[in-house]
Amino acid sequence: MSEAMIASSEQSLNPERERRQKLELNKLQKRLRRDVGQAIADFSMIEAGDKVMCCLSGGKDSYAMLDILLNLQKSAPVSFELIAVNLDQKQPGFPEEVLPEYLSSMGIEYHIIEKDTYSIVKEKVPEGKTTCGLCSRLRRGILYNFAEEHGVTKIALGHHRDDLLETLFLNMFYGGKLKSMPPVLHSDDGRNTVIRPLAYSREKDIARYAGLREFPIIPCNLCGSQENLQRQVIKDMFQTWDKQHPGRLETMFRAMCNVEPSHLADTHLYDFREGKRLGGKRQAAQTAEPEAEQDFGRLDVLNI
């Protein structure tokens, strides 16, 4: 076949490919809208008059979160405000222009916070050790303080369903706790409320959606090369399960939403003598002050 015939054939296929991609994009957007809307309703994440701060890292998850929230904002039964915030940690080679250009094109209010946490992390963490724990605590303090100073009522993070499941297994395997990241977390001092609108959304849906929307992804150069982290081990295990046992991750997540304290062994959750549920142990959201915590490695968005 001549080059001209090959080129002609490829051109004739392009409209069909574009049609299929558009259909897939619409399907994914509807699915993500449904998942995010359901999560917001189930956990009362957003209320009338809320000022929601979307924390953007430049990764696929935070882009998708902002995109879907902007879409839902147009048809939501309540009025709420959205602002986007990125923390420029002064990592070498960080493309400073990418997020401002993208957010300007979206027409949304945004803020770029410039703090050199990179130098602090490299100074404090020995070579070869995981940088994620200190890095995330520094980010957390800066973002939480910014939220309080700017009247933010909800801090939206891009953790998805797979992140919640991974954290559950990491805490079980390495932390000795049956604990994950909740869809909504309130601080005891009332300073911050963290929400995770993607709590019901699958990572593979988000990844495909981000590819079709052609978000300008920014990789994490500080810790992206740390491939033998505990979190990556769990992620690889989940990917294998998803291929070999379709539906297993969905069942696991349903189990997280359907806990029976009387069939576990936590005496703070269930009074086995009286046969009744108890209030349990309330875990407050951490605020600005960093403290020692179990470090399970990098999350795709913000390890908070």
Q: What is the pLDDT of residues 73-99, one digit of tens each?
A: 999 999 999 999 999 888 888 888 999
Residue 152: left if φ>0, alpha if ψ -120 to 50, beta else—which one? beta
Residue 108: pLDDT above 70? Answer: yes
pLDDT of residue 288: 38
Q: Which positions ≥6 away from 237 have C-beta within 8 Å?
A: 169
Angle separating helix axes 161-170 and 248-256, nearest 10 degrees: 70
Average pLDDT over residues 210-214: 96
pLDDT band at 295 (very low <50, low <70, confident <90, very high): low
d(CA 278, CA 146): 36
pLDDT for 228 equals 52
Do residues 90 and 122 make contact, with C-beta atoms less than 8 angstroms apart? no
Instruction: For residue 29, give Cα distances in angstroms to 102, 200, 216, 242.
Output: 19, 14, 18, 22
Cβ atoms 62, 158 nearer than 8 A: yes
What does DSSP say about strands 270-271 and 276-277: parallel, antiparallel, or unpaired? Answer: antiparallel
β-strand pairing of 81-88 with 110-114: parallel
Mean pLDDT lowest among 64-68, 158-162, 262-266: 262-266
* Predicted pLDDT of residue 221: 57
Higher pLDDT, 233 or 283: 233
pLDDT attached to residue 286: 44
Q: How far apart are CA 121 and CA 111, in angstroms?
A: 23
**Over residues 189-194, mean pLDDT:** 86
Give the phi and the psi of residue 244 in degrees, each rounded to 5. Answer: -85, -30
pLDDT of res. 294: 54
Mean pLDDT, all residues of the chain: 85
When mean pLDDT is compared across 79-93, 127-141, 153-167, 186-200, the lowest value belongs to 127-141
Say how far apart CA 8 and CA 3 lie, in whole Å: 9
Provide φ and ψ at 99, rounded to 5°: -65, -45
pLDDT of residue 13: 58
- Listed in order, strand segments (DSSP E) in the chain are 51-56, 81-88, 110-114, 154-156, 184-186, 193-195, 270-271, 276-277
Contact 46, 40 (CB under 8 A): yes
pLDDT digits (tens, 9 = 90+) for 6-25: 444 555 558 888 889 999 99
99 contacts: CB under 8 Å, gap ≥ 6: 56, 58, 86, 110, 112, 216, 218
**Residue 204 banded pLDDT, cuts 50, 70, 90:** very high
pLDDT at 43 over 90: yes
pLDDT at 287: 42
When pLDDT is averaged across residues 182-211 and rounded to a whole number, the result is: 93
What is the number of alpha carbons within 13 Å of residue 183 lying toward its C-beta?
Answer: 21
Q: Is the pLDDT of residue 52 over 50?
A: yes
pLDDT of res. 12 = 53
pLDDT at 212: 96
Tell me the H-state helices in 43-180.
60-73, 98-106, 117-124, 132-149, 161-170
Query: Can you give the pTM of this predicted structure?
Result: 0.84
Which pLDDT score is estimated for 281? 62
Band of residue 122 on the pLDDT scale cut at 50, 70, 90: confident
